[in-house]
Amino acid sequence: MPVDAVVVDGRPGLLWMQMSDVTFSEPFFQQTIDRVRAENPDRPERFTEFDALLQLDQILTRVEPAGFIFHSSRCGSTLLANACRCLNNSIVLSEPNPVDKLVARFITDAVDHVKESLYSVLLRAVVNALGQREVGEQRLFIKFACCSISQLERIRRIWPQVPWIFLYRHPIETIVSNVLNLPAWLVDDDHRILAYITGTSPAEVAEMSIEELCARSIGSFFSTADTLANDNSMLLNYNQLSLPAICDILKFFNVPPSADELERIASGTRIYSKQVLAAREFEPDADAKQKLATDHVREVAERWAMQPYARLELTNHELK
Amino acid sequence: MNSNNLTPGKHVVVTDFDGGEGILVDLNTKKYFQLNETAMVVWKGLEQGKTVGQIADDITGQYEIPLENATRSVERIVDNFQTYKLLSAK
């Protein structure tokens, strides 16, 4: 299975690991890879160029995606991914590196139609390789990294039939959460991705405060989701997240949960979603986040994110 | 080489994309080629062992263009495939 997209000696390609005995039980793909490496440091890893992926794609038996999860960061998407994981016979890939990096190549390297098509073919083949059918597995869910929503139009062209959901949250709460615990996407040294998302230059991104960068980014995520929302999509605010809402999403993905699955989902939603050992209980924190917001957070949220958020809320309620 | 005696090389992988277009990968050179819809019809025709004339007939049926033009297009595309060494003799 491809576990990362890397460049070795100037050759772009994939890093592969034998994963047939591994269950993706952690909240994030990379956490599973880290666990597997820690448990067995001698497990072989192999690099191939992308042509090997396309050869493999000709013969793979794969599980087609049942649903895509997009989000604006810190808004309950991991909880939803964990709920999908409670379904029998499901594979949930949460922000897998190879997918994330190939989607990013649309931004940094798809300079012409040929390259755009090539990256689309490679992305589809990577998802196929990640969704290799093991015994009984029938449902594949992918939770994309938050920046991937900027490439939603291209992703939809590859999988036009796959239903998708966009989860989002009030801008102030989102910014506060990100500032308190900085995510990799906001502090990436390669500023091209966020420059594209915010409609600025890498130099301007380098000069922005984290709060402003986050506000402009999530404003852009909201606008993209709002523009592209259609009959094949669902929008969900963090404040709407509940067990019935999760059931509705799973039904929307055409995988209505059974009673047993529902019970597992219910007990899972009581746990903090990103905890690998599932030891910390989930506590609603919207009020706390609002109280922690500085004047600067409120100012950048108002300037860059509140209008797209209001439009998205309107579309969300119109779609219902 | 007689163009009616050609078949896609075993060193070439083709992938459909976007309702008719495709990407070819030459595993020997690691080069990628994007094929438009017509070139994909030609490639698939060659895969099925069809002659240039038969492929031109298919294109005429699909796109309502004169057989003469279709034949010229197919020959040009086959020439391009040969230039890049993507075909081999049957």
Q: What pLDDT is stored for residue A16 in this prediction? A: 96
Q: Does A104 touch chain B (CB under 8 A)?
A: no
Q: What pLDDT is stored for residue A191 in this prediction? A: 95
Q: What pLDDT is stored for residue A319 in this prediction? A: 76
Q: What pLDDT is stored for residue B30 in this prediction? A: 85
Contacts of B18 in chain A (CB under 8 A): 117, 120, 157
| Contact flag B18-A120 (C-beta cutoff 8 Å) | yes
Q: Does A125 touch chain B (CB under 8 A)?
A: yes
Q: Does B64 touch chain A (CB under 8 A)?
A: no
Q: Does B67 touch chain A (CB under 8 A)?
A: no
Q: Which residues are CB-contacts of A128 (< 8 A; sequence separation ≥ 6)? A: A57, A60, A62
Residues B26-30 have a mean pLDDT of 88
Question: C-alpha distances in angstroms, A161 versus A80, A88, A132?
Answer: 20, 22, 19
User: Which domains are assigned to chain B?
Assistant: 3-85 (3.90.930.60)
Q: Which residues are CB-contacts of B80 (< 8 A; sequence separation ≥ 6)? A: B39
Q: What pLDDT is stored for residue A272 in this prediction? A: 56
What residues pair up with A4 in beta bridges, in sequence order? A15
List the pLDDT tens digit at each of the 320 positions of chain A. 999 999 999 889 999 999 888 888 899 999 999 999 999 999 999 999 999 999 999 888 888 899 999 999 999 999 999 999 999 989 999 999 999 999 999 999 877 888 888 899 999 999 999 988 666 668 999 999 999 999 999 999 999 999 999 999 999 999 999 999 999 999 998 999 999 999 999 999 999 999 999 999 999 999 999 999 999 999 999 999 888 999 999 999 999 999 999 999 988 777 555 555 555 555 667 888 888 899 999 999 999 999 999 999 999 998 76
Q: What pLDDT is stored for residue A275 in this prediction? A: 56
Q: How far is B28 from chain A, CA to nearest CA, in Å?
A: 10
ipTM greater than 0.90, yes or no? no
Instruction: Choose among A227, A12, A213: nearest CA to A104.
Output: A12
For an interface test with B, the pick among A11, A57, A109, A117 (most B C-beta atoms closer than 10 Å) comes out as: A117
Query: Where are the extended beta strands (E) located within A193-315?
Result: 233-237
| Contact flag A114-B30 (C-beta cutoff 8 Å) | no
Instruction: Choose among A32, A27, B9: nearest CA to A17.
Output: A32
For an interface test with B, the pick among A51, A122, A159 (most B C-beta atoms closer than 10 Å) comes out as: A51
Q: What pLDDT is stored for residue A33 in this prediction? A: 96
Give the tens place of pLDDT for each residue, A272-284. Answer: 555 555 555 556 6
| Contact flag A117-B13 (C-beta cutoff 8 Å) | no
Q: Does A114 touch chain B (CB under 8 A)?
A: yes
| Contact flag B32-A49 (C-beta cutoff 8 Å) | no
**pLDDT band at residue B62 using 50, 70 and 90 as cut-offs:** confident
Q: Does B28 touch chain A (CB under 8 A)?
A: no
| Contact flag B21-A117 (C-beta cutoff 8 Å) | yes
Give percent of chain B above pLDDT 90: 62
Residues B70-79 have a mean pLDDT of 95
Q: What is the DSSP letter of B3?
A: G
User: Which domains are assigned to chain A?
Assistant: 2-169+233-275+309-319 (3.40.50)
Q: Which residues of A256-293 are buried (b: 16+ CB within 10 A; e: fewer)?
A: ebeeebbebbeebbebebbeeeeeeeeeeeeeebeebb
For an interface test with B, the pick among A112, A118, A122 (most B C-beta atoms closer than 10 Å) comes out as: A118
Helix axes A243-252, A259-268, angle to 10 degrees: 130
**pLDDT band at residue B42 using 50, 70 and 90 as cut-offs:** very high
Q: How far is B46 from chain A, CA to nearest CA, in Å?
A: 18
Q: Does A8 touch chain B (CB under 8 A)?
A: no
Q: Which of B13, B18, B27 sits opposite A117 (nearest CB)?
A: B18
Contact A89, A23 (CB under 8 A): no
Residue of B nearest to A121 (CA): B17
